[in-house]
């Protein structure tokens, strides 16, 4: 098995409301992932999140961002590559809507058993973010 050719550094937003996690699917892809993206040179995680949320969801983060963790996983839409994601729990100023490269939004119920998934989740979401949020989500 060959090693991935590149690791992308990203900042990602975990937007949770009423026990559900907001996921996005980019145009021409199958996997749902967290909103966010690759950092521009010299950009902080917060600056990246503000830019990406505005581009992808047509709104802005509200208040502080809580760091949930840093995770590394296979990139969902770039075979042979990995992502190193710094994930932050954020709230949004307005209702999200598809914008820019985003084709579809979905709310994933954090209490839904994994074997009953009806969405294709990116490895980062399935392996790291959902388990972390389930541990802290109120029942």
Are 81 and 6 within 8 A, CB to CB?
yes
Structure tokens that stand for 99 in this block: 């914008």
pLDDT of residue 2: 55
Question: Low-confidence residues of the chain, pLDDT below 70?
Answer: 1-4, 113-117, 137-139
Are 121 and 107 within 8 A, CB to CB?
no
Q: Which residues contact 72 (CB under 8 A, 6 or more apart)?
A: 7, 82, 83, 84, 85
Q: Record the pTM.
A: 0.90
pLDDT of residue 138: 58
Which domains does the chain show, CATH number per domain? 6-136 (3.90.79.10)
Rg value, the chain, Cα:
14
pLDDT of residue 84: 96
pLDDT of residue 3: 57
Three-state secondary structure call for residue 61: strand
Structure confidence by residue, pLDDT tens digits, 51-73: 999 999 999 988 889 999 999 99
Cα separation, 83 vs 134, in Å, equals 22
pLDDT of residue 13: 97
- Sheet containing strand 36-38, strands side by side: 36-38, 6-14, 81-92, 61-74
Strand partners, 70: 86
């Amino acid at each position: 098995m060959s090693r991935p050719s590149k690791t992308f550094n990203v900042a990602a937003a975990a937007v949770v409301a009423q026990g559900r996690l907001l996921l996005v699917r980019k145009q021409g892809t199958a996997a749902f992932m967290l909103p966010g993206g690759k950092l521009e040179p010299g950009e902080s995680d917060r600056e990246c999140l503000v830019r990406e949320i505005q581009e992808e969801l047509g709104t802005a983060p509200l208040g502080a961002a809580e760091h949930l963790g840093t995770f590394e996983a296979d990139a969902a839409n770039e075979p042979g590559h990995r992502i190193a994601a710094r994930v932050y729990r954020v709230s949004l100023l307005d209702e999200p809507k598809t914008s820019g490269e985003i084709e579809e939004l979905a709310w994933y119920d954090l209490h839904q058993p994994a074997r009953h998934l009806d969405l294709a989740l990116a490895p980062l979401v399935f392996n790291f973010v959902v388990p972390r949020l389930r541990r802290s989500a109120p029942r």
